[in-house]
Amino acid sequence: MARSKNKTIRARYDAFLEEHPIAADALVCASVAAALTAIFLFVTFSGFGSSAEFIYNQF
Amino acid sequence: MEAHTLHRRLGALLAGIGIAICIVVATSLILPRQDVYDDSMDYGYVYSGAKSSSVDFIHANLTDETLLVLGSSEFSTPARLVPQIPAKTFGTHNYGARFMLVGEAFDQSLWDTIALGALAKEGLPKDKVALIVGLGMFTDGGLDASTFSTRFSYTLYREFCSNPRIPRDVVAKAQDRLSEQGIDETTVRSAAPQNPLDIIDGMVIGGIDDLRLRSQLNETRAAGIPLAAGPVQTPDWAELHAQALRDAQRLSTNNDWGIEDDFYASQLEPALESLKDARADETYTDTPEYDDLELFLTVCDSCGIKPLVVIEPVLGKYYDHIGISLETRSAAYQHIRSIVQSHPTAQLADFSDHEYDKHFLFDIVHFGWTGWIDAEKSLYEFATEGK
């Protein structure tokens, strides 16, 4: 049942790409730009790997 | 998929990459450069990792009368707890000497070596540097890799590698140590590239680090203090010391350890019982830190920089309590002294005999009220000697 539903979704997805090629291209372009931008913003500005706070118990 | 559809999708993918590149370029154009600063402000006393990693920002703010001081967590002490910190003593009076404090918590001799090599590439005022070291840097096992990785600065490391005055075998030693401290090979190699791939790696890692610093430096700029103005004065060290004692008596009232009230009540007192003899196995011998200190002094020699090494004591009574004997500590201090004294141009400001002086520290490891005044006197005399 679930498999048949998935198949239907896949068929509708393929049909959409077939019928709207420009929208599909735009989707690919936007996804790539968004993913790369998100990685860039995270690595550069998130503070990931920022300085450790001083803790006394190491001394 | 048909060939023309495939080509279109590939075009869309490339367009996506192009848009992302445009966003990176736009971000780069929006952020101020690292060397932008307000020349009416003093940023030397701002405690900041971004400042400490930015060669351009530090150099833009060095003057002929500035002494570069490398240290770590002691620079984070707030003035409300210790009104004698350098930002207050030197930042609010024109004593004819300014100080650029560089370093953050957990910066140790390897980080200091790289920072010095990077900053000395363009020369330092009067060819001098001061370095503050404490026993906490020399604990067995050395600094763990995960902590070191949070303090590693690619910008400093790249400048260090490109300093022509540092012998290549010294650079190689630093690279080996970075690898031991968990810095990945791609990063280590890219600052001293041996093939085109290393160059590309360096451009990407360096570019990201540049943008990160440019973004974070805005906070540093906001924390600057107005430059001390007026005629040049001579510090009255006796009066500064007397004031330090008065402040200490006001801020250390709930303990007979001579340390700050809140630290004692919230950190030390609740843990005292469980800490009894808890560190009895510490030897201060099983660490690469001594070799790193030697490496720092070697870079000083190579770059023609005269160093002052300031030895910060620990709180003797506390260290007795946790089981690290005076004998063990004395041996570690002596090891540090012997390394420094093996370099003829290096000077020592050794405060290790103040371990039992009340109010010299405000906690267990950091200069306090009278401690900062004594340390500042040695820094001031070193900065102004021969003036």
Q: Give the tens place of pLDDT for each residue, B83-141.
A: 999 999 999 999 999 999 999 999 999 999 999 999 999 999 999 999 999 999 999 99
Pairwise CA distance, residues B121 & B303, whole Å: 8
B212 touches chain A (CB under 8 A): yes
**What whole-number distance in Å separates Cα of residue B160 and Cα of residue B276?**
43
Nearest Cα to B373, choosing from B247, B226, B262?
B247
Task: Report the 10 Å Cβ neighbour count for B208.
Answer: 15
pLDDT at position A57 over 60: no
End-to-end CA distance of chain A: 62
Task: Mark yes or no for CB contact B49/A56 under 8 Å.
Answer: no
Give the length of chain A.
59
3-state secondary structure of B255: coil
Q: How confident is the model at residue A26 (pLDDT cuts 50, 70, 90)?
A: very high
Query: So what's the pLDDT on residue A1?
Result: 54
Kindly write down the DSSP assignment for every residue of B348-387, as one continuous string. EEE-GGGTT-TTSBSSSSSB-HHHHHHHHHHHHHHHHTT-
- Residue B98: strand pairing partners: B66
Contact A49 B364 (CB under 8 A): no
Name the residue among B268, B274, B241, B271 with its Cα closest to residue B255.
B268
Beta bridge partners of B42: B225
Residue of B1, B6, B9, B51 to mutate for A, most A C-beta atoms under 10 A? B9
pTM: 0.90
Residues B292, B117: Cα–Cα separation, whole Å: 13
* Candidates B11, B105, B212; nearest CB to A51: B105
Nearest to B308 by CA among B65, B184, B149, B126: B126
Cα distances (Å, whole numbers) of residue B237 to A9, A50, B104, B154, B378: 81, 38, 27, 40, 11
CA distance A40 to chain B (A): 8
Put simply, whether B11 touches A (Cβ < 8 Å) is yes
Give chain B's residues under pLDDT 70: 1, 387
- Say how far apart CA B63 and CA A53 lie, in whole Å: 30
Q: How far is CA B98 from the centre of its chain?
A: 17
Taking alpha carbons only, the member of B181, B179, B201, B180 closest to residue B191 is B201
Residue B104 near chain A (CB below 8 Å): yes
Neighbours of A47 (CB within 10 A): 11
pLDDT attached to residue A43 = 82
B101's enclosing H/E stretch is strand B98-102
B246 and chain A: CB distance < 8 Å anywhere? Answer: no
Q: Measured between CB atoms, which of B12, B73, B147 is closest to A28?
A: B12
User: Is residue A53's pLDDT more than 80?
Assistant: no
- For residue B71, give every residue at least 6 positions away whose Cβ sits within 8 Å of its Cβ, in sequence order, or none: B101, B102, B103, B107, B131, B132
Neighbours of B57 (CB within 10 A): 23
Evaluate if residue A40 carries a pLDDT over 60.
Answer: yes
Based on the number of CB atoms within 10 Å of its own CB, is B281 exposed (0-12), middle (13-18) or buried (19 or more)? exposed
Q: What is the dihedral of CA B195, B199, B200, B204, to 10 degrees?
A: 150
Closest residue in A to B103 (Cα) is: A51
Mutating which of A20, A45, A51 best tests the B interface, going by the most B Cβ atoms within 10 A?
A51
CB contact A25 to B (< 8 Å): yes
Distance separating alpha carbons of residues B60 and B55, to the nearest angstrom: 8
Tell me how far apart the alpha carbons of residues B240 and B87 are, in angstroms, rounded to a whole number: 14
- Tell me which residue in B16, B76, B267 faces A28 most closely, judged by beta carbons: B16
3-state secondary structure of A12: helix
To the nearest whole Å, the CA of A54 is away from the closest chain B CA by: 5
**Tokens, residue B123:** 């020369």
Report the amino acid identity of residue B318: Y
Of the candidates B175, B131, B135, which has an alpha carbon nearest to the alpha carbon of residue B157? B175
Select the residue from B1, B2, B27, B76 to test the A interface by mutation, using most A Cβ atoms within 10 A: B27
Residue B136 has, within 13 A of its CA and on its CB side, a CA count of 23
Which residues in chain B have their CB less than 8 angstroms from residue A40's CB? 20, 23-24, 27, 208
Q: Whats the size of chain B, residue-wise?
A: 387
Task: Please name which of B105, B85, B97 lies closest in space to residue B125, comparing C-alpha atoms.
Answer: B97
Half-sphere exposure of B271 (CA within 13 A, CB side): 14
Structure-block tokens of residue B303: 């770059």
Instruction: Burial-class residue B79 by CB neighbours within 10 Å (0-12, 13-18, 19+).
Output: middle
